[in-house]
Amino acid sequence: MYKYFKHSYLTCFIVPSAAMTVFLAPQWAFLVPVAIILINALVDILTPPDRSVPSYSQHWVLDSMVYLYVPIVSLYMFSLMWIVSPGDLLGLSAALSSLVPVNLLAIKQEAGLGGMIASTIAVGYVLSSNHLYAHELVHRTTDKVAMLIGRYLLAMTGDAQFSISHVYSHHRNVGTDLDSATARRGESVYAFFIRSSLGQYRESWEVESQRLANSGKPLLSLHNRVLTGLAMTAAIYVLWYLAAGLLGVAVYTFVIVLAKFLFETVNYIEHYGVVRVPGSKVEPRHSWDCDSRMSSNALLNLSRHADHHANAHKRYWELEAVDTSLQLKYGYIGTIVVAMIPFWWHRFAAPQLAQWDRNSASPEEKILAKQANQLSLNPILMRGND
């Protein structure tokens, strides 16, 4: 029975608690990311790996964990909108105080600027998981509802294009120079964030241009999904402006950048330094994998990334952990922290890549890896070339 709830932490516990914190103790909201990082890292380090793949008969329960996240995270974003707005937005505090003895408006006013800053960080941090849920949904390209909801989640963080570039470019080109979302050897997560984010927009635009040309529809029109995605984000911007003026616009921009940056860190660690001959089969060795418990349970098995790319048709609960030579042994959250400190990251990743080059790479990949090592300027990787 528990198996049905092992992927429910974010939807049922973390996001609701985070929303409560923003409403009831905004000045303490900076503890939300701290608590999430600590809980994740501790569970990942202290408990044995979770490699189980339970069989399920009631897939709708697993799907509902994904869909239920949408209203909850929307409410969570609203909590910040409410905190940043000048008064009692939509009369929420007044309505609530008639039901329970809580005065949200007084709490907000007491928390002041500190409460606003702490809440902004808390919301920006948690909204990075929108990509996670959207990722599951936008892979269901036949399901119009899943696509729309997935794109809405992405649009919340300014990135609806991900629904296009991820499927039609990243999955096809992973590990090659054609893929913006594969981190190059030696590249820092900060350089990657800029290159990957812009590159994905370019790829989406190209895929969409081709699709529209093939369907005989105009490029600059409402048929263009890059544009409709941006329009969704613009609509959310309007809500922020109506709620909290230019301050709201600024806060929302910060939320978007923080959320996208955190997700790009995940992108960074998923394929860092992997090389593949364009067109050759995508194998499990072309992704970093992770069998840590919290990473797999809380993040909808995104951590079982090798299987996701090699068998992209699988739903999240069907994915398996794979023993590749690229392992994120600190778990996803722990590794994100490592990735943000380039010195630490390179010391962590380079030896594993060197081992990958020796033991896992195909003869052609060995050549590409050698070139990548040379370009990386990383001493550990360059030494591996000798």
Q: With respect to other proteins, which residue has the nearer C-beta, 198 or 238?
A: 198
Question: Which residue lies nearer to other proteins by CB, 135 or 293?
Answer: 135
- DSSP designation for 289: B
The Cα 80–Cα 349 span in angstroms is: 37
Q: How far is the CB of 297 from other proteins (least distance, A)?
A: 19
Residues 6+ apart with CB under 8 A from 183: 189, 192, 196, 267, 268, 269, 271, 272, 273
DSSP annotation of 168: I
Among the residue ranges 87-95, 97-105, 123-131, 275-283, the one whose residues contact other proteins (CB under 8 A): 275-283
Largest CA distance in the chain: 74
From candidates 52, 221, 253, 311, binder to other proteins by CB under 8 A: 311
C-beta of residue 215 within 8 angstroms of C-beta of residue 141: no
Q: Which of 61, 191, 257, 375 binds other proteins (CB under 8 A)?
A: 61
The contact mask relative to other proteins for 123-162 (x = CB under 8 A, - = no) is ----------------x-xx--------------------
Binding to other proteins (CB under 8 A): which residues in 367-386?
A: 367-368, 371
Binding mask 312-331 for other proteins (x = CB under 8 A): xx------------------
55: contact with other proteins by CB under 8 A: no
Q: How far is the CB of 319 from other proteins (least distance, A)?
A: 13
Residue 173 CB, nearest distance to other proteins (Å)?
7
C-alpha torsion 239→240→242→248, nearest 10 = 180
Give CA angle at 386 (328, 190), nearest 5°: 40
Of 119 and 180, CB closest to other proteins: 180
Which is nearer to other proteins, 98 or 214 (by Cβ)? 214
Query: In the numeric block, which tokens belong to residue 265?
Result: 């860190």
b/e per residue 272-294 (b: at least 16 CB within 10 A): bbbbbeeeeebbbbbbbbbbbbb
In one letter, which amino acid is 342? P
Closest CA to 165 of 126, 135, 187: 135
Among 12, 39, 107, 167, binds other proteins (CB under 8 A): 167
Our CB check for other proteins shows the closer of 317 and 330 to be 317
What is d(CA 108, CA 246) in angstroms, rounded to the nearest whole number? 19
In angstroms, what CA-CA distances link 127 with 30, 90, 142?
Answer: 14, 23, 26
Output 14 or 361, the one with its CB closest to other proteins.
Answer: 361
**Closer CB to other proteins, 220 or 281, in the complex:** 281
Measure the CA angle with vertex 240, ends 234 and 242; round to 5°.
105
Note whether 101 binds other proteins by CB under 8 A: no
Is the separation of the CB atoms in 342 and 349 below 8 Å?
no
What is the sign, positive or negative, of the torsion defined by CA atoms of 372, 374, 379, 380?
positive
Closer residue to other proteins, CB minimum distance, 80 or 361: 361
Q: Binders of other proteins: how many residues, by CB under 8 A?
A: 40
221 binds other proteins (CB under 8 A): no
Among 55, 98, 215, 359, binds other proteins (CB under 8 A): 215
Does 47 interact with other proteins (rule: CB under 8 A)? Answer: no
Residue 171 or residue 329: which is nearer to other proteins going by CB?
Answer: 171
Binding of residue 4 to other proteins (CB under 8 A): yes
CB atoms within 10 A of CB 29: 29
Q: Does 5 bind other proteins (CB under 8 A)?
A: no
**Residue 83 or 275 having the CB closest to other proteins:** 275
Residues that bind other proteins (CB under 8 A): 1, 4, 57-58, 60-61, 139, 141-142, 167-169, 171-173, 177-178, 206-207, 209-216, 277-282, 311-313, 364, 367-368, 371
